[in-house]
Copies of this chain bind each other. A is one copy, B any other.
């Protein structure tokens, strides 16, 4: 595939600065790019690579400054780069819309038009799958679960019974949706299982990473809101409610019945206890241990998680702690001496 820089600029919505006739044949990150590639500059930390990249052209923001490299100047270089990637990989997720003969599909299942079902996939009784959805090999969908239209379910996913998946949802391999919530009640010495009779609702445009686990509610619903993106190996407990357009990074754990407001970001390996509320647009830093509510728009970090500005001060102060101990010991001696002197 080939396109001139000027044509590409039109396609992705930018202005060429430099030779518009340069021929572009691929896309790549700024460090890995080779001649023929277009790359992009979004993160100022990478601007030092602008002159050394082997790319033939760079998609850059208006404030990128001058460069010997041909540029496409865009308001949102990252977004424009995505459009370039989509141009060069137009059929990335196209799967033949066939039902593999080895798939096991219950006679009561309701399969939409133009659906693909992979080899050894298992679709149980009364499942409903919307139009254009792709279910790949080895995936299991339990009875009475509904999956919307235009979804992409990768191989070896498990979606248990009575789950609701919206439209345009992407679920990566190994994810488990609707496993039992972790609920037990002590009955003398032993733990007795609390039946987990609720469900999981995954709204439209959600993406769920590989080997993620989302537990069904004890009663009621565990909810993943529209447009929320969940990275790999995340654990979402029973009755958790995650609102729209949240970002949940890899290996995060969210305890039962906690609510995450819309637009919140939970960074990698953070843990949130059950029964708290993360406000709209809040940010929980990586590895934070959240034990209480977080205010809307707030940012917390550390263990136990505190307001990020305060936490940063604390963690910076920590470096001085060993020295502080010595200084206080020294002061104590000098004060004792002064006290002696005064008495004398």
> Could you list which residues of chain A lie within 8 angstroms of chain B, going by C-beta atoms?
27-29, 32, 45, 76, 78-79, 81-82, 85-86, 88-89, 92, 100, 102, 104, 118-120, 122, 136-138, 140, 142, 154-156, 158, 160, 170, 172-174, 176, 179-180, 182, 184-185, 187, 189-195, 197, 205, 207, 209-211, 213, 215, 218-221, 227, 229, 231-233, 235, 237, 239, 245, 247, 249-251, 253, 255, 257, 263, 268-269, 271, 273, 275, 286-287, 289, 302-304, 306, 310, 313-322, 324-325, 327-328, 331-332, 334-335, 338-339, 341-342
Contact = CB atoms under 8 A, between A and B. Distances in A.
Max chain B Cβ within 10 angstroms of own Cβ: one of A220, A232, A318, A322: A232
A287 B303 contact: yes
A225 to B, nearest CB: 12
B211 A211 contact: yes
Contacts of A209: 179, 182, 213
Max chain B Cβ within 10 angstroms of own Cβ: one of A210, A263, A322: A210
Given A156-B158, A268-B273, A271-B287, 16 more contacts: A32-B220, A82-B194, A86-B195, A92-B195, A138-B138, A140-B155, A140-B173, A155-B160, A184-B247, A213-B233, A251-B251, A251-B253, A268-B271, A269-B289, A314-B322, A318-B321
A328 B327 contact: yes
A191 B245 contact: yes
B176 A210 contact: yes
A315 to B, nearest CB: 6
A193 B219 contact: no
A29 B195 contact: no
A100 to B, nearest CB: 7
Given A119-B122, A176-B210, A219 B189 contact: no
A255 B249 CA distance: 10
B232 A179 contact: yes
A180 B170 CA distance: 10
A335 B328 contact: no
B173 A176 contact: yes
Nearest to A157: B156
A316 B327 CA distance: 16
A185 B77 CA distance: 10
B229 A85 contact: no
Contacts of A271: 251, 268-269, 286-287
Contacts of A289: 269, 286-287
Contact of A235 (B170, B247, B251): B251
A28 B219 CA distance: 5
Nearest to A173: B158
